[in-house]
Amino acid sequence: MPRRKTPKIPDELLDRLLAGADPKTAFDANGLLDDLKKALAERALNAEMNHHLGSGEPGNSRNGYGRKTVTTDTGKLALDIPRDRQASFDPQLIAKYQRRFPGFDEKIISMYARGMSTREIVGHLRDLYGIDVSPDLISAVTDAVLEEIAAWQARPLEPVYPLVFFDALRVKIRDEGLVRNKAVHVALGVRADGTKEILGLWLEQNEGAKFWLRVMNELRNRGVEDVLLAVVDGLKGFPEAITAVFPDAMVQTCIVHLLRHSLDFVSYKDRKAVAAELKSIYRAVDADAGAAALTAFEEGAWGAKYPAIGQSWRRAWPEVIPFYGFAADVRRILYTTNAIEALNSKLRRAVRARGHFPTDEAAMKLLFLVLNRAEKEWTMPAREWCMAKAQFAVLFGERFTRAMA
């Protein structure tokens, strides 16, 4: 396909535009570029008025101009807005009660999604563009995201997801005068073609079986009929909740989270040696070999020194067993909730500078925007997915075939 050429502005036109103007001031506030933006906006508004008069009520006509000052991404712009005698003209470019130029709100939301606080955005706009806006304006712009969150959280989902990862991170939120730790739960689904989709985002102070049962029922009500394999981060009450709603689902614990939990019991100087010893458990060829390796660890020197490690693996063992049913290439996908941990790292970077959020809604706005940006970056499935897909087809049979339909 031939490459499309970028349109070129003739030099003669540029010379006419610059005639009588100092080229050095072209990019200044109220300089040439702002003049061009004003002229193009007013030209578009007049074209809209012509169309309105041509297709509107008979007898209507122009009635001069009204002056409106709008905020743009480079400063304030005074526009002459055409009026009609019947006062029925509502332009699309700048609506009647709109005070911000198209694209300005998107820039605010983009800065907010990158973790900038409301007051940081105010300072950024002042320093870069000389625009003074109030923190209330920033909040009003970002509050529009709440409606989008509600629609996104209620959208229909796929009938079958071969893989669903569940994880949580903690954020600080002011509640009744106190700053409390609340858990933000994220569900990441993997479709049969390997593409990823964030299924939902939930904020809860206390997690447990009742909470997860509500989440599972919400997924069911949004159209999910089957989950083949769920990978979880030792979430309390989750295995019982998911099998109550999706009885055929296989539940597997996140191996990396289990390792991290194990090393929490270990002194710093011993961690490297203990981590190396634990490899024999999760790298075993099958579940029986893994169980034998766990017994050997418990009976060895490190298991005797840190008995809590063996106990934590024993408690999680029913959710570790599914891991051994896959080849090494597929285990790399299931080994950890890496995909969701990458999301969590983006979320943590965004919330780290905040300290705490004033409300649940403020936290949800930021987290949703961060997740939305991350989801747009996903273009390709994991390279191990072809192997995983073949094994899923054998392991789950018609249930996986249905996901492919």
pLDDT in tens, 46-105: 877 888 888 767 788 888 888 877 776 656 767 788 888 888 887 766 767 666 655 666
Give the tokens for residue 343.
């999301």
pLDDT of amino acid 130: 63
Give the burial class of 258: count Cβ atoms within 10 A of its Cβ; 0-12 exposed, 13-18 middle, 19 or more buried: buried
Angle ∠(137,139,141) on CA atoms, nearest 5: 70
Across the chain, mean pLDDT equals 79
Phi, psi angles (nearest 5°) of residue 369: -65, -40
pLDDT of amino acid 256: 79
Phi, psi angles (nearest 5°) of residue 165: -100, 135
Percent with pLDDT over 70 in the chain = 78
Q: What is the mean pLDDT of residues 343-350?
A: 77
- Does pLDDT of 9 surpass 60? no
- Does pLDDT of 28 surpass 60? no
Pair 332, 384: CB distance under 8 Å: yes
Name the pLDDT band for 16 (thresholds 50, 70, 90): low
Pair 231, 252: CB distance under 8 Å: yes
pLDDT of amino acid 95: 67
pLDDT of amino acid 274: 92
pLDDT in tens, 180-231: 888 888 888 989 888 888 999 898 766 677 888 899 999 999 999 999 988 8
Phi, psi angles (nearest 5°) of residue 170: -105, 140
User: Which CA distances in Å does 72 have to 51, 124, 152, 330?
Assistant: 25, 14, 29, 50
pLDDT of amino acid 11: 56
Name the pLDDT band for 2 (thresholds 50, 70, 90): very low
Phi, psi angles (nearest 5°) of residue 13: -65, -40
Name the pLDDT band for 4 (thresholds 50, 70, 90): very low
CA 85, 87, 88, 90 torsion-angle sign: positive
Angle ∠(323,214,377) on CA atoms, nearest 5: 60
Unique residue bearing structure tokens 């597929």: 330
Angle ∠(375,381,383) on CA atoms, nearest 5: 140
Name the pLDDT band for 155 (thresholds 50, 70, 90): very high
Lowest mean pLDDT among 129-138, 223-232, 294-303, 304-313: 129-138
pLDDT of amino acid 245: 93
Rounded to whole angstroms, the Cα distance separating 118 from 326 reads 47
Q: What is the mean pLDDT of residues 242-258?
A: 86
Rounded to whole angstroms, the Cα distance separating 77 from 124 reads 19
pLDDT in tens, 256-275: 778 888 888 899 899 999 99
pLDDT of amino acid 1: 42
Rounded to whole angstroms, the Cα distance separating 167 from 234 reads 9
Q: What is the mean pLDDT of residues 289-313?
A: 92
- 301 CB-side CA count, 13 A: 4
| Three-state SS letters, the chain | CCCCCCCCCCHHHHHHHHCCCCHHHCCCCCCHHHHHHHHHHHHHHHHHHHHHHHHCCCCCCEEEEEEEEEECCCCEEEEEEEEECCCCCCCCCCCCCCCECCCHHHHHHHHHHCCCCHHHHHHHHHHHHCCCCCHHHHHHHHHHHHHHHHHHHCCCCCCEEEEEEEEEEEEEEEECCEEEEEEEEEEEEECCCCCEEEEEEEEECCCCHHHHHHHHHHHHHCCCCEEEEEEECCCCCHHHHHHHHCCCCEEEECHHHHHHHHHCCCCHHHHHHHHHHHHHHHCCCCHHHHHHHHHHHHHCHHHHHCHHHHHHHHHHHHHHHHHHHCCHHHHHHHCCCHHHHHHHHHHHHHHHCCCCECCHHHHHHHHHHHHHHHHHCCCCCCCCHHHHHHHHHHHHCHHHHHHHC
Q: What is the mean pLDDT of residues 110-120?
A: 72
Which amino acid is present at 146? L
pTM surpassing 0.85? no
Rounded to whole angstroms, the Cα distance separating 280 from 295 reads 11
